């Protein structure tokens, strides 16, 4: 069924698909309540929660089950309308059954009560006959349960996790390469030729690239037992033939760490998640859909790095290619596919429960400190906040729209030590200026940054004697001149992005700045480039050109002469 439910008239029982492709029926007819109330709650369910994710719909259906259990225990399930005090009685029933005496609330009680209030209010507006007139909805809510904030991991721990992932991935790749050698029977020793023969015989027993299960070997194919032991047992054979949950986990962990994505969203990565950068050939983009916000998330990676997330995606796609023919249509374009590690014939996306179970084994195997999947996203935010020394670095890493959301993952206090050191340094500079400063002279507070104060070429090509002198109106000594970048960094600039000539100039400027940036990094004058030209380059690349229509951009590219950038070589 589709991710969203459109109308109640199209179905009598709602069905949702789990993350492993299993169909779950939300059968309202099975509820022990009058048909009129069944129909009302079903319509309310569609109207209020039909557009939500399958996990949310299943949780809300469990809420309705609890409400029906409450009606049955209280003797209210036989007739409608429901009594005026049904809401307060339901709250008392939840408090008695789901909250222990030493606690004031529980997440189950909060979620159940809040969801049921939404459904009953919908019924009051649209199917008023099932509720008594003047039903009292003014009831005190349960206290919200605030989950304990998970701690972020230190940089050394993150590096240790990645190292362990890469080690296991190399072993998996080697095992699959050995399988291909055995299948092709090339460059094998005599003992390996025997093993290759046994492997081919095992594959022939069932066909479709599968081998018998452990139970079938014990009951029907006992003559192969000794040969299987030489191959390392059925578990090792299956790991050679298929990607299993155990061998899939390191790929998931490494990609999750490198992307700092939401675990559920990363688990739903598709096989075509690698996107070319629209402007730069040395960068590729990992892209995925965040289910809750229904927005694409993107992280840039350099092209050609062996252990980058896009490279890991390609490795995994090759390794589990043979699983696609066994998967359901819903899973055939998913990345994290495997064969169940319990000897069954199930193929498809791995479940979060299976991942969590294998995570415990992974931690024990590599002697790592305990951590959870959710901690990895928080750790990425904190580490980027510290490295970038600005909250904007963490915000861009997590693909957030606002800083308030980013502050849920990393706090301003994380950099309190660095801020205090900076304040102390400037306080010392103020004292030095007061004690020994020369009247009319330049103190340490207004000294130019550590870049050469030589003439510099502006974006428009003319020369500036000293961009840090502060001579232009509004400029401050020691900081780049406000007029140095012209209109490129002005928030009041009006830029016609549908004009091919304007876009051509923007694109030409960006290409020139990219080449200059590469030369600055190579020749050792990056600080100067970063201070003078980097803000302009970022604005053109991140804000202006992404807003240009693709057809306009292609026309603009064709108008740029091929020898336009020879002066930069």
Distance CA(528)–CA(522), nearest Å, equals 13
Query: Cβ-count burial of 370 within 10 angstroms (0-12 exposed, 13-18 middle, 19+ buried)?
Result: exposed
Closest to 263 in 3D by CA, of 364, 173, 350: 350
User: What is the pLDDT at residue 539?
Assistant: 84
Distance CA(28)–CA(12), nearest Å, equals 8
User: What is the pLDDT at residue 157?
Assistant: 92
User: What is the pLDDT at residue 422?
Assistant: 63
First to last CA, the chain: 57
What 3-state class would DSSP assign to 9? helix
User: What is the pLDDT at residue 482?
Assistant: 61
Cβ pair 560, 507 in contact under 8 A: yes
Distance of CA 177 to the CA centre of its chain: 30
| Total number of residues shown for the chain | 569
User: What is the pLDDT at residue 519?
Assistant: 84
Domains of the chain, by residue range, sit at 8-130, 456-568
User: What is the pLDDT at residue 243?
Assistant: 87
Cβ neighbours of residue 273 closer than 8 Å, sequence gap 6 or more: 286, 287, 288, 313, 335
In this structure, what token pair is assigned to residue 162? 């990645």
Cβ pair 433, 445 in contact under 8 A: yes
Sign for the CA dihedral angle at 353, 354, 355, 357 comes to: positive
Cβ neighbours of residue 136 closer than 8 Å, sequence gap 6 or more: 84, 85, 87, 88
User: What is the pLDDT at residue 175?
Assistant: 84
CATH ID of 8-130, from 1.10.150, 3.40.50, 1.10.490, 2.60.220: 1.10.150
User: What is the pLDDT at residue 310?
Assistant: 94
Strand partners, 285: 275, 300
Q: Compute mean pLDDT per 10 residues along the chain, 569 residues long, and list them.
A: 41 47 65 86 90 83 91 81 89 86 75 91 89 86 67 88 95 86 74 75 70 72 73 74 89 93 89 88 88 80 91 93 84 87 65 87 93 87 78 81 78 57 69 60 45 52 61 67 64 71 84 85 79 83 84 84 47
Q: What pTM was estimated for this model as a whole?
A: 0.56
What 3-state class would DSSP assign to 298? strand
């Amino acid at each position: 069924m589709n991710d969203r439910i459109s109308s109640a008239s199209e179905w009598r029982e709602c069905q949702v698909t789990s993350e492993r492709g299993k169909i779950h029926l939300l059968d309202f007819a099975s509820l022990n309540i009058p048909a009129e109330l069944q129909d009302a709650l079903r319509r309310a369910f569609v109207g209020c929660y039909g557009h939500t994710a399958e996990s949310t719909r299943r949780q809300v259906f469990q809420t309705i089950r609890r409400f029906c259990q409450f009606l049955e225990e209280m003797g209210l399930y036989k007739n409608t309308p429901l009594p005026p005090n049904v809401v307060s009685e339901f709250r008392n029933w939840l408090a008695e059954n789901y909250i222990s005496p030493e606690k004031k609330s529980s997440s189950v009680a909060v979620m159940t009560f809040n969801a049921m209030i939404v459904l009953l209010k919908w019924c009051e507006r649209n199917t008023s006959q099932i509720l008594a007139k003047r039903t009292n909805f003014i009831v005190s809510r349960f206290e919200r349960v605030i989950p304990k904030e998970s701690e972020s991991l230190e940089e050394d721990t993150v590096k240790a996790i990645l190292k362990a992932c890469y080690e296991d991935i190399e072993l998996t790749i080697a095992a699959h390469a050995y399988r291909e050698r055995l299948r092709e029977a090339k460059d094998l020793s005599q003992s390996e030729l025997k093993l290759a023969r046994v492997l081919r015989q095992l594959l022939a027993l069932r066909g479709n690239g599968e081998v018998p299960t452990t139970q079938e070997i014990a009951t029907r194919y006992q003559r192969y037992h000794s040969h299987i032991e030489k191959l390392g047992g059925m578990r090792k054979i299956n790991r050679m033939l298929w990607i299993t949950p155990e061998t899939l986990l390191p790929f998931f962990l490494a990609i999750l760490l490198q992307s700092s994505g939401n675990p559920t969203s990363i688990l739903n990565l598709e096989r075509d998640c690698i996107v070319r950068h629209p402007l730069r050939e040395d960068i590729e983009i990992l892209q995925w859909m965040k289910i809750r916000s229904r927005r694409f998330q993107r992280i840039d990676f350099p092209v050609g790095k062996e252990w980058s997330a896009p490279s890991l995606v390609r490795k995994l796609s090759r390794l589990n290619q043979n699983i696609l023919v066994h998967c359901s249509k819903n899973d055939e374009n998913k990345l994290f596919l495997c064969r169940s590690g319990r000897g069954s014939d199930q193929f498809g996306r791995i479940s979060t429960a299976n991942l969590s179970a294998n995570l415990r084994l992974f931690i024990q195997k590599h002697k790592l400190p305990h951590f959870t999947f959710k901690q990895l996203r928080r750790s990425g935010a904190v580490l980027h906040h510290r490295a970038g020394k600005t909250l904007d670095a963490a915000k861009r890493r997590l693909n957030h729209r606002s800083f308030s959301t980013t502050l849920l993952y990393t706090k301003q206090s994380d950099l309190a030590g660095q801020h205090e050191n900076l304040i102390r340094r400037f306080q010392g500079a103020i004292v030095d200026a007061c004690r020994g400063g020369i009247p009319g002279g330049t103190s340490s507070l207004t000294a130019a940054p550590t870049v050469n104060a030589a003439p510099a070429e502006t974006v428009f090509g003319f020369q500036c004697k000293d961009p840090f002198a502060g001579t232009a109106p509004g400029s401050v000594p020691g900081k780049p001149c406000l007029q140095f970048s012209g209109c490129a960094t002005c928030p009041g600039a009006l830029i016609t992005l549908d004009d091919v000539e304007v876009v051509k100039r923007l694109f030409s400027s960006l290409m020139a700045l990219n080449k200059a940036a590469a030369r600055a990094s190579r020749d050792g004058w990056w600080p100067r480039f970063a201070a003078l030209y980097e803000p302009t380059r970022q604005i053109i690349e991140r804000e202006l050109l992404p807003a240009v229509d693709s057809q306009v951009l292609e026309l603009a590219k064709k108008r740029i002469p091929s020898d336009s950038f020879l002066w930069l070589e």
